[in-house]
Each structure stands twice: as structure tokens, then as C-alpha cells.
Amino acid sequence: MTRVAFIGLGNMGSGMAANQAKAGREVVAFDLSADALKRAKDQGMTPATSAGEACKDADIVITMLPAGQHVREIYLQAILPNAPKDALLIDCSTIDVDSARTVARDASMQGFRAGDAPVSGGAAAAQGGSLTFMVGCREQDFAEIEEALKPMAKAIIRAGDSGAGQAAKICNNMLLGISMIATSEAFALAEALGLDAQRFFDISSKASGQCWSMTSYCPWPGPVPAAPSNRNYEGGFAAAMMLKDLKLAQDAAEVAGAPTPLGGAAEALYGELVRGGHGGKDFSIILQMLRGTLALNRE
């Protein structure tokens, strides 16, 4: 039976690991949280006492951790010293491109096959096995990485070599952050000009201003019933997570010398929203900040 070591059982990792187990793989799971380990055990996984122990005898090692520093540490201290050399190493966290390339290089220097595979889709898609994976890896390793990710995926796309998955993820999310602000600004201006919001949606969703932020995730409550705007911006994709991805994009742009003036403006606006106390709300709540209807903590 294929043995999967899964490290990081938070909002995303818990559902992803459960789908590996449902696919008939033996999952040895590790997280710093005792509660997360207990939930994993209840779902038929084997809890490990450390990340290193989880990796012993693994065929596949999957990590789903908060940020680059966690991934670098776990690779150096637990995975590379303990996993069998023929294990396939896949990091699904959203981290900076440089960290992704560093861990892939360290892994490959020690004879491992490794890839970065960040995801699009939130906790519901993680539970439902319908995430989209953007993969950075050597071409010859992709088929095996694809097979490893299948129980958790709706789509798996190779973006290029190591780090390319992270590059695709942060570029996509920078575009999403900007387009959500642009859509929100347009709704706020339409309102100020006396235009009915539903009428504006009916027109713009069929005209050249149409985009995903408007037609699938409309920040104005009403036109798109499934959007978080209809649930007081609860659930969905947290504004704090959007800010994290926008910061990663700005850091990467600075290193690459790429001009991203709108990405910078988006980071500043989401920074204001999160500092104002709304980091836990869905990122489309930025509409309410732009309309001036949101109380912002200014401390």
C-alpha cells in the first residue's frame, strides 16, 4: 500500500490528508496540534510523534504549512534526514518562490525528487478533493506528482520547473486581489452616481468589465447568491490570506525587478483592511471599506 506522510493538518491539510486516506493510501500524519492529530486518528490515519517519524518509510511526503520558514525548517530538520531517498517530496503550502527553489535544490542535491504544488480553492475544496494544483517540478517527475495529488484534485497543471507553481499562485492571486478591488470600486462609484447595483451588474457582467470577481464572487450582496457577500462576508477566502499572497507577490516583484504598481496598491488597501480588524472576513468585504461603511480599528 502506498504510504503517505502528511505534515500540517490545519484548515487545508486536514481535508487533504483525509482524501489521501479515502483513496486507500496509508497516511501517517503529523501536526504540532494535539487536536489535529486526534482528528486525523479518528479519520483512520496514523498519528506520528514527530515530522521525522512520519517520514520514515514514506513513499510520498506532503507538507501543508503556513509559510516559507516552516517549510524550510521541516525540510532541513525532519524530511531530508529521515525520508527514504526514493520518496517523492511535495510541498503544497503557499510560500515565497525563493524558499520553494531552495528546498527543491537541497532535496535534489540529496537525491530526492521534489516539487512545489500550491493550491487554488479553500477549505471546502480541500475537503471535497476539488483543489487546483499548480506544480513546479522537473518534467520527468510530473507524472508521479500528478498521481500523488489526484485524490485531492480537480485539476493539476505543471507550471514549469521548481518554484514555478508558487510563481503561478502568487501572480494569479495578485490578479484576483486587484480585480476584486477594481470590481468593488466600480460598484462604489456606480452607487455614488445613483446607478442601481443590480442594473450595473446586469450590464457590466455582459460587457467588457466582466471578470470572475464580478460574475462568480460579486462583492455586492444580491447578484450572485452563492458569494460570501450574502453571508456577511463569512467563510470564503480570508482577507488576511489575500494580504499574505499580495505581500509574497510584492516581495517577488522586487527581487525580479518587475513593476507591479497595482499589486502594490492592492497590498496597501488589504493592509488597511486587515489592520482595521477585518482580516478574518472574506476578502470581498473590501467593497464595504471602499464604500466607507466599515468601522476600521485605527490603533
The three-point CA angle 94-125-290 to 5° equals: 70
Judged by beta carbon, residue 30 or residue 201, the one nearer ligand NAD is 30
Minimum separation from the CB atom of position 191 to ligand NAD (A) = 29
Minimum separation from the CB atom of position 179 to ligand NAD (A) = 17
Q: Which residue has the cell 499548480?
A: 134
Judged by beta carbon, residue 31 or residue 146, the one nearer ligand NAD is 31
Task: Give residue number: closest CB to ligand NAD.
Answer: 10
Using CB under 6 A, list all residues that contact ligand NAD. Answer: 7-13, 30-33, 36, 51, 64-66, 70, 74, 93-94, 119, 122-123, 237, 241, 244
Judged by beta carbon, residue 7 or residue 164, the one nearer ligand NAD is 7
- Among 127, 129, 84, smallest CA distance to 107 is for 84
The three-point CA angle 116-122-125 to 5° equals: 90
Q: Per this entry, what is the length of the chain?
A: 299
Q: What is the dihedral angle through the alpha carbons of 135, 214, 179, 10, rounded to the nearest 10 degrees?
A: -50
Judged by beta carbon, residue 122 or residue 136, the one nearer ligand NAD is 122
Minimum separation from the CB atom of position 229 to ligand NAD (A) = 17
The set of cell numbers assigned to 294 is 466599515
Is residue 169 among the annotated active site residues? Answer: yes
- Among 63, 75, 85, 90, smallest CA distance to 145 is for 90
- Among 105, 266, 125, 102, smallest CA distance to 185 is for 266
Judged by beta carbon, residue 46 or residue 205, the one nearer ligand NAD is 46
Other CB atoms within 10 A of residue 213 CB:
22
Q: Which is catalytic among the residues 154, 169, 206, 281?
A: 169
Cα gap 37→30, rounded to integer Å = 7
Note whether 161 and 142 are within 8 A (CB).
no
Minimum separation from the CB atom of position 202 to ligand NAD (A) = 30
Judged by beta carbon, residue 50 or residue 205, the one nearer ligand NAD is 50
Minimum separation from the CB atom of position 199 to ligand NAD (A) = 32
Q: For residue 29, what is the enclosing H or E element? A: strand 26-30
Note whether 120 and 132 are within 8 A (CB).
yes
Helix (H, G, I), strand (E, B) or coil at 187: helix
Minimum separation from the CB atom of position 6 to ligand NAD (A) = 10
User: Catalytic residue positions?
Assistant: 169
